[in-house]
Amino acid sequence: MMRLLLCMLFCAATLVAAEKTVHEYTLNSIDGQAAPLAAYKGKVVLLVNVASKCGYTPQYTALESVYEKYKDRGLVIVGVPANNFGAQEPGSNQEIKSFCSSRYHVTFPMMAKVSVKGDDITPLYQFLTDKSAHPQTGGEIQWNFTKFLIGPDGRVITRFEPEITPDSPPVTSAIEKALASVKS
């Protein structure tokens, strides 16, 4: 009987862990305000770890273009600056914000700089990269501009590696498919 009870408790704990979503996490906005991702419930989110001095930095142009194209249909792009790769995001949050707005005219939400790997990984990225929670999309972030597409329910749909641009057919097709599930 005790074995059965322990098994049931383990199964219940596993189900609860599997039910966790991106909406349970809070980052800080680039201006330092709490930015709960629960604010994006019902929206499709493209979460991207970004950097200002990377070979992929020009993807900001495509990110802004995709945001402008789909934001009225329920897409939110969230830029998450990180300095984990080649010290390519060395600036302060204010410097990052200024760079993004003046150079790339970014209007999508930008968060405060975090760590997306290593001992100081932020809890959101610990969750996103957890292979046991996300066997298809988990795994350590390899470089800047890794993209996670999140459904309206807060669950990870897919992941795109840095070399896949935000305006490429695989990304826009996945966004359009996810947006089709958004309730008007």
Contact 178, 151 (CB under 8 A): yes
Query: Is 7 tagged catalytic?
Result: no
Q: Helix H segments across the chain?
A: 2-18, 59-70, 93-104, 123-128, 169-179
Contact 70, 179 (CB under 8 A): yes
Strands 75-81 and 44-50: parallel
Q: What is the DSSP letter of 112?
A: P
Q: Which of 7, 11, 54, 100 is catalytic?
A: 54
Contact 148, 159 (CB under 8 A): yes
Residues with Cβ within 8 Å of 96's Cβ and at least 6 positions away in sequence, in order, are 30, 52, 81, 89, 110, 113
Which residues belong to the active site?
54
